[in-house]
Amino acid sequence: MRYCVPANVAYIDGAEVDLGQVLYLTILPYGQSVCLEGIGRLIWTQAASGDDPVTGIASLVGKPVDSIEQDVADFLEDLLRRGLLAKS
């Protein structure tokens, strides 16, 4: 499954402004925001880039795909439900 950033989501990663590894996502136009850190930030970033997030995360954390697949899929489902990611 491939993902993309919905047109109504603004985001900024701390690394862009020298503020560390934290990601803020804001749903437009209401402006409600969500903070992602750690593995959650990595999953969203990987998915938003258009790459396959499961393979990417497995490679980043050095674990077999099978061992993380379900957890990543659950988290991605949550992101989709909250409108923070879209299917492409």
Partner 1 sequence: MADLPPIPLMMRTRLAHATLQAVADECGADILHIKGAAVDASLSPQREGSPAGDNVEKRRLPRLSADADILVRPAHLRRLETALNRYGWQRKTRLYSGGAVEHSVDWWHPELGSADVHIRFPGIQLSADLAFAEFWRERRSIHIAHRPCKVPSLDAQRLVLLLHAARNGGAQSPDVAPSWTNATTMEQGRVRELAATLRAEVALAGATGHLDDYSDRPEYDLWRLLGLPDADVFDLWVAMVRAAPTTLARARAILYAVRIKAERVELGLERRATTIKVLRVQGSRLRRAGVGTLSVGVRWTTRLVARLRTRNHRASP
Binding site for partner 1 (CB under 8 A): 5, 8, 10-12, 14, 17-19, 24, 26, 28-37, 40, 78, 82
Q: Is 17 or 62 the residue whose CB approaches partner 1 more closely?
A: 17
Q: Is 20 or 62 the residue whose CB approaches partner 1 more closely?
A: 20
Q: CB of 44: closest distance to partner 1 in angstroms?
A: 10
Q: How far apart are CA 18 and CA 2, in angstroms?
A: 29
Residue 85, Cα to own-chain centre: how many angstroms?
7
DSSP 58: H
Q: Is 12 or 60 the residue whose CB approaches partner 1 more closely?
A: 12
Q: CB of 77: closest distance to partner 1 in angstroms?
A: 13
Q: How far apart are CA 35 and CA 45, in angstroms?
A: 13
Q: How far apart are CA 13 and CA 39, in angstroms?
A: 14
